[in-house]
Each structure stands twice: as structure tokens, then as C-alpha cells.
Copies of this chain bind each other. A is one copy, B any other.
Amino acid sequence: MRQQNLLMPTLREVPSDAEAASHRLMLRAGLIRSLAAGVYTYLPLGRRALRKAETIVREEMDRVGAQEVLLPAMQPAELWRESGRYDVYGPELVRLRDRHDREFALGPTHEEVVTALVRDEISSYRKLPLTVYQIQTKFRDERRPRYGLLRGREFLMKDAYSFDTDWEGLDATYRAMYEAYHRIFTRCGLNYRAVEADAGAIGGEGETHEFMALAEIGEDTVVACDSCGYAANLEKAEAAAAQQAQAAADGEAAPPLERWHTPDIRTIAQLTELLGPEASRLMKTLLYVADGKPVAVMMRGADEVNELKVQRYLGADQLELADADTVQSVTGASVGFAGPVGLNVPLLVDREAAALGEGIAGANERDYHYRHVRPGRDFSLAHTGDFREVRLGDRCARCGEPLTLHRGIEVGHVFKLGTKYSTALGARVTGVSGTEQDIIMGCYGIGVSRLLSAVLEQHHDEQGIVWPLSLAPFHVHILPVAVTDDAQRELAEELYERLQALGIEVLLDDREERPGVKFKDADLIGLPIRLVIGKRAGERVVEYKERQAPEAEQLTVEEAVKRVLELVRPAASGDAK
């Protein structure tokens, strides 16, 4: 394509309202423009990159036998009422009424539609397993759309749904999808981790993994072990128990409980300052309300509660921190003095806190703490478990090596749904034995537009984007330094035609602009190979430079063409179905 008339409005200024690097780059390189908060137009370069991502996703879905469909965006509200999600989904669901005042939702996801489809069309186990997918625009009215395509209200998603007759079948489908996802993100040049995640409300049977692109801007935390490969999101992550035999032994000689006057000392920070080195013995007690009933959770002072672990232990649907009134009525004291001794509600003790020989804890009395609190002696250890959030310095529960923590962007998600939707919507098949059974489902999402943002978070430098070849809008950027120079212009045109005839995607900067402008734009839009045609055009020598390479090389036209083909061709054929 010729750049003169290409709609590629690059910006010299850094847009002030774009916080994420990928968002700034997409605006500056003329890939996208905002129409409304979280709603974007894809300009030609952005559209090309997006289509490349779509193609990679489509090829890998086809490869594992998933069948492409296209489900409607407009979904009748009745269907969402059948699954029970219409009322619980909240304001993220975009709702509208048609001219006959019938209610519709704009699909943020398609479990209802696809489950109803399979319910109506499939009745026998012999038509299963089945996996369908689509690549489609989705709508979610995010409370805080931000970071460009990372959190938009209208975005492109690949969603797939699998249907099996038994859990072994789902396991196999899930595994195939999991591997397809690895191929997709690898082909996109992404640095990512597949992490164990929590199935949330679906409960124990729902195995699930998230695919996390590692990036500082990410809103999630990934816990990983570089030694054995373990990876989980923070909600789900577990660490090895600390070695605290010594601490426990120390406690054997602990003196009895001692009431300690601590006027107005209500926070861990205040206590830590007061105690100095002894602060490692601090125990903190938090009060929660689980499904309407109060419970206490005790941790070491420096640890954080992982509420999901508590929730899972209790089998509770809802868990929230207790308000001040509840704290007062449960502990008999105001907030800041809760402790494990003498509590009348279930007490969950984190295993690290349980392993302290002795410690300091609130006395359930205003302005008092206890010293020499001894786990097992002064309070029950009946509910001991892993309730803490993993943090830096923890070790891997599997191999004992140090864990690392990273920020991550969720770009994909695979999920064993089980029968949640098939039961709600009555999607049943006659099994081998002739009896009816609920279909066992999985769902599998990729944020295709978000994926582009994640890639750019990882692939850029000071000057601009550094596209991986697989997603680059064009492979090669040809820059004649002076288009008014006949030799330069003619050689540029010759190379442009020749490379295109070889199947290479070429952008030709045929603009009459100053060389500085052209070079700056070229670095900013970041195509993988730049061929500069300058003063040596008459000798048929051009400057070959790969975007990420520090130096350019002077090559003859023939050598340059050969190098282009060597770089682009293997990737191109790898992309083919």
C-alpha cells in the first residue's frame, strides 16, 4: 500500500489521557481512534493487525476441530432470564428495547444462546463431542473503561463452547483448547503464563486456567515458579508453608497470657512500630460475615487474607468484611482490638499464624492487647488452613524454589463449565445407555482486540512499536529518502512491485516529506523490516534494517530481497492452514 493516501494519522504529541503504553502507541501510530469512552474505531493499520490476530485464532481453532459459527449480538431477555443471569449481571449488560418494547441484551458472552441452540438441535450423544466458536464484537458496559483496547465497552472476542457427554470427554476437549491457546499466544509473540485460576461460583468441579500476558499495566497478579513451571493467579495461588519448627518450639516455654494496655493502638502499623523486632509475632484477627453469619480469621500481622480461600473453606456464596457494629457485637470491643481468645464465632487460623510459638493479639477489649498468646493453648486450632495471599519471598508449594510475582493482562480463559447452563436451559442428550443426561460444557475465551494491546505492551521501545512479524500490519516498509529523486523513486517502485509479487506485504512511503518525518513515522509504526532507498540507489544498494536490530546494513537489492524472504517466508508458511 502507498502511504500518501493511507489513513494513518500519526501523532508527535503523546496523548495526555492515555495511561497505558499500548494505548499511547495505538493512538500515536494511527491504529485506533476513540469515538466514546471504551469505544474505538480501528484505522487501516489497526484493522490489519486485528485481522492477523483473528486469522491466527481462527486457524488454531479450526486445527482442533472447533466449528465456526456466528451467534447474534441481539439476545432476547427471556433467554437470559432462563439462565438466571438477566438480573444478576448488573449494569455491565447493555440492555435495549425493540420497537415492540421487547427486551434484549447485547451479548457480552453467549452461553445462553449457544446452549439453547444445542438444546434445540442435538438430542443424541452420537452428535457429541462438539465445539463451536465465533469471532465477534461483544458489548460490556464497563464501569471504568480504560487503557484503550485493554478494557473497552465494545471489543472483539473469540468465544468457544464445548459440549461433551462425560467429564473424560470434557477433559480431552479442554486439553486440546489449552494447547491451541498456547499455540495462539506463542504465534502472537506474547510473553505469557497459563495460570491456574479459581472457578468461583461454579465450584470445585470447574477447572479453569487464565492466560496472562506479563505486563506492568496488568490488573491481575500472577504467581509463578520459574523452576517447576507452577503458575496461578493470586486468588488461587498457594505457597509452601514456612519452616517454623523453631518458632513453635520457642512457644513451649511461653509464659501465660498477659493483658497489655495499649491505649488507642488500633492498627498493625502502630503495633509494628511499637514492638520493633518483636513485630514478627503479631497476630491479627479480622471479622467477616459469610452468608450472613460472622466468622473470624486470624493471620500473622504482615500477611494478607485471601478471601477466596476463606470462602472456599467455608463453602460460602458471599463473604464480606464485617462492619463496625458487627465487630462491636461479636468482640465486645470497638474496631482494632479483635483477637482470637474467647471468641464466640468460628475462628479460622492461617497455618502460618498457627505455627507461631507465641504472639501478640487483640484482647477483645478496648485499649488492650494480650502478650504470650499461644496457639492451641489460648485458642482452638480446629479450623487451621491456608488462608493467606501469596507474597514475594514465598516458596513454591511443589518444588520449594522461590516464587515470583508478576502483573498480568488476562488475554484468554479456558473454563470447565460443567452442567451449569445445560441444566438451567434443559440441554440434554440421550446417552449410550438410553437415559437422558445434561450435556457437559466448557467455555473458552480470547480477547482478540485486547490481545493486540497486550502485545504492544511488550513489543515497543522509546521510538515506537516493534511489531512481531505475525501481527505486523505490513512486513516491509520501503522509504525512499527523496521521492523527487528519479533513481530513488524508481528503485523504490521496483522493490515495491517485486516484493508484493512475492507475497510480501509492503508499505511504500511515497510521501514528499522531510526524511526526519519519514524515519520517525517508520520507527513509530514499527514494521519488522525497513528498506531505505537513499543516495546509493544508482548502485542498487539499499539500507536494510530490522526494527529491533540496533544497526542497519547496506545491501544490494538482490541481497535485501533474499533477506526479506528469509525472515518473512517461514512465518508466512507457518501461518497457513
Report A's interface with B, CB cutoff 8 A: 1, 4-7, 9, 33, 35-36, 39-44, 46-48, 50-51, 65, 67-76, 91-92, 94-96, 98-99, 102, 104, 106, 113, 117, 120-122, 126-130, 132, 134, 136-137, 139, 141, 143, 153-154
Is B98 a contact partner of A70 (Cβ separation < 8 A)?
no
Q: In whole Å, how far is A166's beta carbon from the nearest beta carbon of chain B?
A: 15
- Which residues from B are CB-within-8-Å of A44? 67-69, 132
Is A47 a contact partner of B72 (Cβ separation < 8 A)?
no
- Which residues from B are CB-within-8-Å of A47? 68-70, 134
- Can you report 20 A-B residue pairs in the complex whose CB atoms are below 8 A from each other? A1-B67, A5-B65, A5-B127, A6-B67, A7-B121, A7-B127, A33-B117, A36-B75, A36-B76, A36-B104, A42-B69, A44-B132, A47-B68, A48-B68, A72-B154, A74-B139, A91-B99, A94-B98, A95-B96, A136-B137
- Which residues from B are CB-within-8-Å of A6? 67
**Which residue from chain B places its CB closest to the CB of A32 in the assembled complex?**
B70
Is B42 a contact partner of A70 (Cβ separation < 8 A)?
yes
Quickly give the copy total for this chain: 2
Which of B48, B94, B117, B137 is in CB contact (< 8 Å) with A41? B117
**Which residue from chain B places its CB closest to the CB of A511 in the assembled complex?**
B126
- Which residues from B are CB-within-8-Å of A99? 91-92, 141, 143
Is B72 a contact partner of A43 (Cβ separation < 8 A)?
no
- Which residues from B are CB-within-8-Å of A48? 68
11 additional A-B residue pairs with CB within 8 Å, beyond A5-B127, A41-B72, A73-B154: A5-B130, A6-B67, A33-B121, A35-B71, A36-B74, A44-B69, A47-B69, A48-B68, A50-B70, A74-B139, A74-B153
**Which residue from chain B places its CB closest to the CB of A93 in the assembled complex?**
B99
Is A67 a contact partner of B7 (Cβ separation < 8 A)?
yes
- Which residues from B are CB-within-8-Å of A4? 126-127
The CA-CA distance from A35 to B39 in the complex, in Å, is: 26
Most buried by B among A6, A67, A73: A67
Known: A96-B94, A99-B141, A154-B72. A130 touches B35 (CB 8 A): no
Known: A72-B41, A95-B96. A33 touches B67 (CB 8 A): no
Q: In whole Å, how far is A134's beta carbon from the nearest beta carbon of chain B?
A: 8
Is A121 a contact partner of B9 (Cβ separation < 8 A)?
yes
- Which residues from B are CB-within-8-Å of A72? 35-36, 39-41, 154
Known: A91-B99, A99-B91, A137-B137. A69 touches B7 (CB 8 A): yes
- Which residues from B are CB-within-8-Å of A106? 96, 106
- Which residues from B are CB-within-8-Å of A91? 99
Q: In whole Å, how far is A335's beta carbon from the nearest beta carbon of chain B?
A: 33
Q: In whole Å, how far is A460's beta carbon from the nearest beta carbon of chain B?
A: 22
**Which residue from chain B places its CB closest to the CB of A449 in the assembled complex?**
B70
Most buried by B among A33, A69, A102: A69
The CA-CA distance from A39 to B7 in the complex, in Å, is: 34
Is B35 a contact partner of A76 (Cβ separation < 8 A)?
yes
**Which residue from chain B places its CB closest to the CB of A75 in the assembled complex?**
B35
The CA-CA distance from A69 to B7 in the complex, in Å, is: 9
The CA-CA distance from A42 to B5 in the complex, in Å, is: 36
Q: In whole Å, how far is A344's beta carbon from the nearest beta carbon of chain B?
A: 42
Known: A39-B74, A96-B94. A120 touches B33 (CB 8 A): yes
The CA-CA distance from A99 to B44 in the complex, in Å, is: 31
Known: A48-B68, A121-B7. A141 touches B98 (CB 8 A): yes
Known: A7-B132, A128-B5. A113 touches B67 (CB 8 A): no
Which of B39, B69, B94, B95 is in CB contact (< 8 Å) with A43? B69
- Which residues from B are CB-within-8-Å of A139? 73-74
- Which residues from B are CB-within-8-Å of A95? 96
The CA-CA distance from A143 to B69 in the complex, in Å, is: 27
The CA-CA distance from A43 to B98 in the complex, in Å, is: 25
Which of B1, B41, B50, B128 is in CB contact (< 8 Å) with A71? B41
Known: A121-B7, A153-B74. A113 touches B41 (CB 8 A): yes
The CA-CA distance from A43 to B69 in the complex, in Å, is: 5
The CA-CA distance from A3 to B141 in the complex, in Å, is: 39
- Which residues from B are CB-within-8-Å of A127? 4-5, 7
The CA-CA distance from A453 to B33 in the complex, in Å, is: 35
**Which residue from chain B places its CB closest to the CB of A67 in the assembled complex?**
B44
The CA-CA distance from A50 to B134 in the complex, in Å, is: 13
The CA-CA distance from A6 to B127 in the complex, in Å, is: 8
Leading 10 A-B pairs by shortest Cβ distance: A96-B96, A42-B70, A91-B99, A44-B67, A9-B121, A39-B72, A99-B141, A47-B68, A35-B72, A36-B76
- Which residues from B are CB-within-8-Å of A65? 5
- Which residues from B are CB-within-8-Å of A94? 96, 98
The CA-CA distance from A134 to B132 in the complex, in Å, is: 25
**Which residue from chain B places its CB closest to the CB of A110 in the assembled complex?**
B41
**Which residue from chain B places its CB closest to the CB of A98 in the assembled complex?**
B141
